[in-house]
Amino acid sequence: MTRVALLWHMHQPLYQDLLTGEHILPWVRLHALKDYWGMVALLREFPSVHVTFNLVPSMLTQLEAFAREEARDPHLEIGLKPADALTEDERAFALANFFHAHGPRMIAPYPRYAELAALRDAARQLSARGQSAGFDTEDLRDLQVWHKLAWIDPFYADDARVKALIAKDRAYTEDDKQRLREVELEILRKVIPEYREAAERSQVELSTSPFYHPILPLLCDTDVFLRTHPDSRMPRESFRHPEDAAEQLARAVAYHERTFGRRPLGVWPSEGSVSDVMVPLVAREGFRWMATDEEILARTTGRGFSRTGDGHLEQPERLYRPYRVGTGVSSVSCGFRDHTLSDLIGFTYAGWSPHGAADDFVNRLVEGGRRYSAATGGEEATIFVILDGENAWEHYEQQGRPFLRALYGRLASHPELQTVTMSEACAGATEALPSIFPGSWINGDFYIWIGHSDDHRAWSQLVDARRALDSPRSDLPLESLARAREEMLIAEGSDWFWWYGDDHSSEHDVEFDELFRRHVRNVYRALEKPIPEELFVTNITTAPPTSPIEPPTGFVQPLIDGRVTDYFEWLGAGCVEGSAAAGAMHQVSERGPAISLVEFGFDLENLYIRVDATMSGRELLRRGFELSVRFVKPAAWRLGLQGRDGSFTAMLQQKGESGDWQQVFGAGVRAAVRAVVELQIPFAAIGAKVGEQVALFVTLVRDSTEIERHPRHHAIEFEVPDGRFPARAWTA
């Protein structure tokens, strides 16, 4: 009998900004509708099939919040808002974000959704030619329905509410949207109870991962990367905090026990990442097993794996068994996944017929078991198949349900195969590995998370923030210190680094980068320490986002009076459009004023800045908002503008060596606040000389919290000009 240990890994990072409460991206909620509940509910049809689900705490906590209707994300809010009340920015957000679904499997099967996608594409083409075409209110309401309806679990295809919505196809009403919301909440609230029930009937084992999904070996010591890349460039300083790795594990165990009523027996280290240093941490936390990839076993033993022309493993006696990793009380059982078999489900079978794919997979399992038995004199094989449990299914027919039914049916009835949980699979481990090679299930190393210049910058920022956390003010409230600690643990997650560099890219690279830097900034905010200016600038250098900045084309000398005196006084200035710069992640137009335009220019002696908002500059300050110009180059300068009673003060400040901001008097700064805000800042006041770089942001702050930053990712940057600037700008 061949034992088959199948593990589905369910994971999402923490998309929530703890400072604002907003969940930036919708993937926890959407995958809950399509995958998290249905994947485990399907097993009720196959009671003899045993599998393991690995549930990452950072995903579960967000899922619980959405189920309680305590969480919000812009996709949800804009999707629920009456279509005829959507602002222009919200309409644009819907068109940009409500088609994030697999086209052939999730859009094309539904005529109206496909029609809306075609209309969106046509509108883009017309826009590129300078023509206009738009969605009317009915189109937008239909899009609000379909962007969620396409994600509803196939189990609900026969639900009367869902069936009626699919049959209706178009011309939806606001009541239809509310009915779909009822279905959404119903599914969200079923997820955790379904897993709990499956575990209680002993059909499913539930395992966990480090709470915020960090790469444990890198938390313990980033220099472990040099084991595989000895000549690699590295962050400016090593990150060494095994105590953080231990805390991520301890928090995961405590949360799992609170949620499911029992401690987890096993752990999937984030991205299958292992090293000798993290093994004792896993053992100390009481885990009986962990798992990683076959490449780690190959590098640990110094003997690789090869396969026949039809893909069968030629050394099954080494891979198809559990091992004992480590020594003494610091050892733990470990399963090494068959990389080829796991990837067939994750990346290949989606294009096959469901029954053909299931037959092929089962035949490979049977052949692998027979080869193992022949090589070992009759012993039983244990084959580990471990893969992502959510992202593959949108590429499959009917979200993978026909394939899974075919697979589970064959596994349940085959006389040579027995499905087992990971604990059952690892219980009899006898083969010892005193040491384990450091690496992950991606190429057997950590390159994706620390191999790029973008990664190096991010790890250096973590080092600095972690040092700040280790030296808090003595009078800092305990709740502030706890908040800083939480933000630090979140920033240590693997997902932020996954999207840096040129290995992976998505339409949300910018959001992941912004979220990482936002979490690190929040560490400093909670500690009430100055935030390094570099945390306001994107870490993405290998594929930088498109800049919304128009550069200056000539000198300007505006009259600093707070009014747009005439069209020509700012002619030649550069500009940043507020809506383009602010982006969709943190829309504040309904919660307060928004900057609509920043213009900037110069003559030989002065920098000039004009700020337009959705209300007058005076009203902006009267409501308690502070306008600030933050300089990245020259570093450690800022100009703040505030006032409530109709008057205002403008303060140029320089950061001292202790990190405190000190006012600079007699700098020659001029400011005017009326309909708009106009500023004049002498280059000499900030120590900027001809040919040197100036880089700055314009920010809007309230109650010490930054509300807006313009531009959002790239600073306004230019050289202090000389007299030849107009001619150079003209020829350029």
Give the angle 369-405-422 at the CA atoms, nearest 5°: 45
Please, which residues bridge with residue 51 across strands? 204
pLDDT at 578: 65
CATH ID of 452-536, from 3.40.50.720, 1.20.1430.10, 3.40.190.10, 3.40.50.300: 1.20.1430.10
Determine the Cα–Cα distance for residues 94 and 154; give it in Å rounded to an integer.
Answer: 24
Spatial separation of the C-alpha atoms in residues 317 and 381, rounded to whole Å: 8
Nearest to 712 by CA among 541, 514, 422, 553: 514
For residue 651, the cross-strand partners are 640
Q: Is the peptide bond before 402 cis (omega within 30 degrees of 0)?
A: no
Give the separation between CA 153 and CA 297, rounded to whole angstroms: 37
Cβ 450 vs Cβ 347: under 8 Å:
no
Q: Alpha-carbon distance 500 to 449, whole Å?
A: 8
- Strands ordered across the beta sheet of 289-293: 266-267, 289-293, 332-337, 323-325, 431-433
Peptide bond into 634 cis (omega under 30): yes
Q: What is the pLDDT of residue 127?
A: 59
d(CA 504, CA 321): 33
Mention every residue, 6+ apart, whose C-beta is less than 8 A from residue 125. none
Computed over its alpha carbons, how large is the radius of gyration of the chain?
29
Residue 676 sits at φ, ψ, to 5 deg, of -125, 175
Which CA distances in Å does 161 have to 35, 155, 464? 19, 13, 53
With a cut of 70, list the residues of the chain below it in pLDDT. 125-133, 542-547, 567, 578-593, 703-706, 713, 727-732
Q: Could you give the CA distance from residue 527 to residue 315 in angstroms, rounded to a whole number?
A: 54
Instruction: Count Cα neighbours of 685 within 13 Å in the Cβ-side half-sphere.
Output: 22
What's the gap between Cα 419 and its chain centre? 33
408, 115 Cβ separation under 8 angstroms: no
CB neighbourhood size of 378 (10 A): 8
Domain ranges of the chain: 21-50+62-200, 207-221+236-433, 452-536, 549-731
Fold of 549-731: Immunoglobulin-like (2.60.40)
pLDDT value of residue 666: 81
Cβ(195)–Cβ(41) below 8 Å: no
Decide: 20 and 179 in contact? Cβ < 8 Å: no
Query: How many CB atoms sit inside 10 A of residue 352's CB?
Result: 17
The structure tokens listed for 246 are 């231990």
Q: Which residues contact 448 (CB under 8 A, 6 or more apart)?
A: 440, 442, 497, 498, 501, 503, 504
Instruction: Let me know: does 387 contact 350? Beta carbons within 8 Å.
Output: no
207-221+236-433 is classed in which CATH architecture? Answer: Alpha-Beta Barrel (3.20)
Residue with tokens 């009917």: 398
DSSP-derived letter for residue 22 is: B
| Torsion 195-199-202-207 (CA) sign | positive
Q: What is the pLDDT of residue 583?
A: 34
pLDDT at 729: 64
Residue type, 521: R
Is 374:314 a contact under the CB 8 Å cutoff? no
Q: How far is CA 21 from CA 51, 112, 487, in A?
A: 35, 34, 13
Whether 679 and 629 have beta carbons less than 8 Å apart is answered as yes
Q: Cα separations (Å) of 453 from 358, 449, 488, 513? A: 42, 11, 21, 14
Please give the structure tokens belonging to residue 717.
């940057």
Q: Which of 80, 30, 64, 101 is nearest to 181 (CA)?
A: 80
pLDDT score at 582: 38
Give the Cα separation of 1 and 9 in Å (integer). Answer: 26
Q: Which residue(s) pair with 699 in the sheet?
A: 628, 709
Q: What integer pLDDT is reported at residue 618 of this predicted model?
A: 87
pTM of the model: 0.82
361 burial (CB, 10 Å; 0-12 / 13-18 / 19+) is buried
What is the C-alpha separation between 218 and 319, in angstroms, rounded?
26
